[in-house]
């Protein structure tokens, strides 16, 4: 089995010792960091996530720190989302776009203070874009990647585990809100968020030296809760319609095509506003699609066909153990995106019957 060659360009994380000891069997590279992909097996990891609690090394969700007198001005220039009502304890899902309205990233914005934010990014070089805007406009702001490594705690028993390590007040955190909670001689931003539909938290660990002490504390505290090391589950995320930047959407797509139009509401003249306005009425959009028969692993988009004509593409597809069918995320043309529409998917193993669903399975 091939391994990843050691390099400063592919970084270990503050939790790598923990995930390796826990039996990580497959990993990928995301934002130039190791991201665990499988521990026991995809299906066993999936069932455990839905029943118990897992600790996820998601350090690859790198932060772009934006701090200074012009921090808000910079964010207003690059965000199509209105930030006026954002509180200093809140996280916002924020589509990031270019001047033509194409998706550059789909980060979560964390407001630490009126002049200090973290942009928690998906896999891309979005920091270079943010730096470019700040430098071009000579803004009074510092933009950098801080030593902050998120650790996810996901699953139905996540509240119980987190309360044992951070105290009962963790249960009071509302969705996409955070509290700064004590751990040892420091404190971390703890947000109710995460890349699953099972509920949970993300702990923004400031300082790499705290990585394994926190990991070990969670594992000790959760022994009777059947805590395990885990990772984002493709099966679970597709059931729930959680999109993956670079897989389900790219710069070719607008927020409207990705079903993110409700996050485009800024009244300001941000970069890309005119481009988005010109593409406001999408000719294609993300849809859940069920696929019949056996399917191979998907490593490139599969054409969606109607009477032999391409009407979209499947971007992620997988077997769903709970729903006993193949579930997928697809970009489908307006002419064929209505629920119940019968299509075909051109997989490497041949054509498969497919049906557009009204909503994701969850």
pLDDT over threshold 80, residue 26? yes
- Decide if 269 is inside a domain: no
User: 202, 237, 272 — which closes off a domain?
Assistant: 237
* Closest listed residue to residue 320, CA positions, set 285, 349, 288, 350: 288
Distance CA(275)–CA(292), nearest Å, equals 38
Asked if 291 contacts 317 with a C-beta cutoff of 8 angstroms, the reply is yes
- Convert the pLDDT of each residue in 138-180 to its tens digit: 999 999 999 999 999 999 999 999 999 999 999 999 999 999 9
Residue-number span of the structural domain to which 164 is assigned? 16-59+147-237
* Closest listed residue to residue 347, CA positions, set 323, 322, 317: 317
The pTM for the full model equals 0.96
- Measured CA distances, 241 to 30, 110, 310 (Å): 20, 23, 23
Give the pLDDT of residue 7.
84
Chain CA centroid to CA 88, Å: 22
- Decide if 230 is inside a domain: yes
4 pLDDT tier (thresholds 50, 70, 90) = confident
334 & 219 share domain: no
55 & 166 share domain: yes
Q: What percent of the chain has pLDDT over 90?
A: 98
- Convert the pLDDT of each residue in 242-264 to its tens digit: 999 999 999 999 999 999 999 99
* Closest listed residue to residue 198, CA positions, set 45, 41, 15, 39: 45
Distance CA(180)–CA(204), nearest Å, equals 10
The pLDDT of 230-250, averaged and rounded, is: 98
Least confident of 1-5, 40-44, 72-76, 301-305: 1-5
Q: Where are the beta strands (DSSP E) in 23-128?
A: 26-30, 33-38, 54-57, 63-67, 91-93, 96-97, 103-105, 108-113, 116-120
pLDDT over threshold 60, residue 1? no
Across the chain, what does the average pLDDT equal?
A: 97
Q: What is the CATH number of the domain that holds 37?
A: 3.30.1360.120
Give the pLDDT of residue 2.
60
163 & 55 share domain: yes
In sign, the C-alpha dihedral spanning 34, 40, 41, 47 is negative
Q: Are strands 228-230 and 54-57 parallel, antiparallel or unpaired?
A: parallel
55 & 84 share domain: no
208 pLDDT tier (thresholds 50, 70, 90) = very high
299 & 333 share domain: yes
Give the pLDDT of residue 148.
98
53 & 157 share domain: yes
Give the pLDDT of residue 5.
78
181 & 48 share domain: yes
151 & 233 share domain: yes
129 & 164 share domain: no
- Decide if 206 is inside a domain: yes
Asked if 275 contacts 95 with a C-beta cutoff of 8 angstroms, the reply is no
User: 140, 162, 181 — which closes off a domain?
Assistant: 140
CB atoms within 10 A of CB 87: 8
- Decide if 176 is inside a domain: yes
Q: What is the CATH number of the domain that holds 311?
A: 2.40.30.110
Q: Count structural domains, the chain.
A: 3
51 & 125 share domain: no
Give the pLDDT of residue 9.
87
User: 140, 165, 189 — which closes off a domain?
Assistant: 140
pLDDT over threshold 80, residue 3? no
The pLDDT of 331-358, averaged and rounded, is: 98
């Amino acid at each position: 089995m091939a391994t990843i060659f050691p390099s400063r360009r592919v970084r270990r994380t503050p939790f790598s010792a923990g995930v390796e000891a826990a039996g990580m069997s497959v990993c990928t590279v995301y934002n130039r960091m190791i991201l665990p992909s499988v521990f026991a097996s995809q299906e066993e990891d999936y069932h455990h996530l839905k029943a118990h609690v897992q600790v996820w090394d998601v350090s690859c969700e790198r932060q772009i720190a934006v701090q200074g007198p012009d921090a808000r001005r910079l964010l207003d220039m690059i965000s199509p989302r209105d930030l006026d009502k954002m509180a200093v304890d809140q996280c916002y899902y924020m589509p990031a776009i270019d001047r033509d309205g194409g998706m550059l990233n789909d980060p979560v914005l964390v407001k630490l203070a009126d002049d200090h934010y973290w942009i928690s990014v998906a896999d891309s070089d979005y920091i270079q874009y943010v730096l470019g805007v700040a430098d071009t406009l000579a803004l009074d702001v510092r933009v950098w990647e801080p030593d902050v490594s998120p650790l996810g705690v996901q699953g139905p028993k996540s509240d119980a585990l987190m309360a044992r390590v951070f105290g009962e007040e963790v249960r009071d955190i509302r969705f996409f809100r955070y509290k700064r909670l004590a751990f040892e001689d420091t404190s971390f931003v703890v947000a109710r968020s995460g890349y699953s539909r099972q509920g949970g938290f993300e702990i923004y660990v400031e300082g790499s030296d705290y990585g394994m002490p926190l990991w070990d504390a969670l594992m000790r505290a959760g022994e009777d809760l059947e805590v395990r090391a885990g990772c984002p589950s493709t099966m679970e995320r597709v059931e729930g319609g959680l999109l993956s930047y670079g897989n389900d959407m790219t710069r070719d797509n607008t927020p409207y095509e990705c079903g993110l139009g409700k996050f485009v509401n800024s009244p300001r003249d941000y970069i890309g506003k005119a481009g988005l306005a010109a593409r406001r009425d999408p000719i294609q959009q993300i849809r859940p699609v069920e696929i019949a028969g056996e399917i191979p692993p998907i490593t490139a988009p599969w054409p969606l066909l109607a009477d032999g004509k391409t009407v979209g593409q499947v971007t992620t597809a997988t077997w769903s153990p709970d729903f006993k069918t193949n579930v997928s995320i697809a970009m489908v043309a307006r002419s064929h995106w209505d629920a119940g529409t019968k299509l075909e998917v051109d997989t490497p193993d041949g054509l498969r019957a497919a049906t557009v669903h009204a909503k994701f399975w969850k």
